Amino acid sequence: MPERTDAPMQWGSPGFNAIEAVMWKAESDPALSSTIMAVEELDQAPDWDRFFTAHDWGSRMVPRFRQRVVDGPLGYPAWVDDRDFSLEHHVFRSAMPGASWQDVLDRAATVAQSSFDPSRPPWEALLLTGLQGGRAAYVLKMHHATLDGAAGVQLFAGLHSRQREHSADKPQPAPPEPRRPAVLRSAVRRELALAGKGVGLLRSTGSVALRPARTARYLASLRRVLGPVSASPSPELANRSGTWRFVALDVPLPGLSAAAKQAGASLNDAYLAAVSGAFARYHEAVGSPVDELPLSIPISIRRPEETSGGNRFAAARLSAPTGIADPTERMLAIRSVVRSIRDEPAIEALDGLSPALARLPTPVLARAVRQMTSTSDVQASNIPGIRDAEVFVAGAQVLRLYGFGPLPGVAAMIVLMSHGATCCVTINHDAAAIAEPDTFRRCLVEAFDEILALAPTGSRTTLRD
């Protein structure tokens, strides 16, 4: 837990890094929206005044929440203070009497697809009350250019309380004074830094060129990292409507960990094996079985000491072995592939190319990003959640934390985020890509239960509806 201090959290990188700039600019194509969502289930409705005040406190603890985006020099986006910042434009509430959890997810999906106001900081918070059992839901909508999954956990860990009662000793930084934008100065510093990196890259390239064997290994790795995978996109998942659909599962963390250990694999291997199994079952159910499916996963390149938020990941693609029926064999096959990907010398190549991509004209950039993302049917991410089992928002306990990613041209985005003893698994899928959603949900539950059955814990998957 961060040390208590009157100073704001050191969270939120000082400016856009290259991959964040790519995500921001690529949204000129509506299919490449980079909105991300956190949906928390609360055990009760928090007091509204305390909830609202908590967001004022949070926006002082994290100044990024009081900043908006402008087009900087050379078409590169930049963060500037919003001189007209007001919480009334960002924090809302709505009653949903008797609503089910799927009703909440449907509402969240609708909120996710509404555009941010470009004149304001790109985030919104929505409190939904009156749910079944007297519960409530907290929906936080942000732009992916602000943070990745790991940074989101850093943010929630720093802002959530560890007690239900009001904490009188929590830090109380003063509201930040809006500063005059220094976009040009920041742009000059960024270009000088990139020029320095370029000189360093040229030096290292020259050094590598003197070692032909090393150069050949790197170039071979580069072809594997950036080249196509063996699996072709599935015709069954090819349609796109642009409409998002949210689904959530609860998978017992001890059971999934035990199943992975039983197979001699990791939790991530077990998770990806379940995802592959779900799509295998779905294709079989609709009469179009596939042996492989192109799948993308993020590889975190964040160091343990990096706590400043932002995006720090490399993208990797693989052919998911949907044709392997045995769950243990499937898990081990995935383990082998993912290990080899992590060991690729060129794994961060796309991160290295991002500065050049970010400087392309926006329409050209959007076409390039769409071409890259369209080669995968599914993206899957595994995010270690908040370690503390009990966290609170304005007096209400967080029972579950579900993270939903965007659909950058793919049929489905699947995210696992651990929370206490539960793996909160979410699926955001295009409504047209999954033509039989009820069948797909059944296949998801069956695939995770198949993995859980490898260890005799009696664990079962719960579809949150």
Cβ neighbors of 152 (< 8 A, separation 6 or more) are 36, 38, 142, 383, 403
- Got the DSSP string for 394-453? TTEEEEEEEEE---SSSSEEEEEEEETTEEEEEEEEETTTSS-HHHHHHHHHHHHHHHHT
Distance (Å) of CA 49 to CA 84, 128, 395? 22, 14, 11
Dihedral angle sign, alpha carbons of residues 218, 222, 225, 228: negative
Give the residues across from 428 on adjacent strands.
Answer: 246, 413
Catalytic residue among 90, 143, 144, 160: 144
429 is catalytic: no
Cβ neighbors of 24 (< 8 A, separation 6 or more) are 16, 34, 69, 77, 143, 145
- Dist. CA 308–CA 303, nearest whole Å: 11
Reading phi first (left if > 0) and then psi (alpha if -120 to 50, else beta), residue 384 is in beta
- Dist. CA 99–CA 104, nearest whole Å: 7
Nearest 10 degrees: Cα torsion 358, 361, 362, 364: -100
437, 245 contact by CB (below 8 A):
yes
Token representation of residue 133: 């059992």
At residue 128, φ and ψ (nearest 5 deg) are -110, 125
- Dist. CA 232–CA 387, nearest whole Å: 38
What are the b/e assignments for 261-300, b being 16+ CB within 10 Å?
ebbebbbbbbbbbbbbbbbbbbbeeeeeebebbbbbbbeb
Query: Do β-strands 396-404 and 392-393 pair in parallel, antiparallel, or remain unpaired?
Result: antiparallel
What number of other Cβ atoms are within 10 A of residue 341's Cβ?
17
337, 318 contact by CB (below 8 A):
yes
Count of alpha carbons within 13 Å of 273, Cβ hemisphere only? 30
Token representation of residue 50: 């305390």
List residues with catalytic annotation.
144
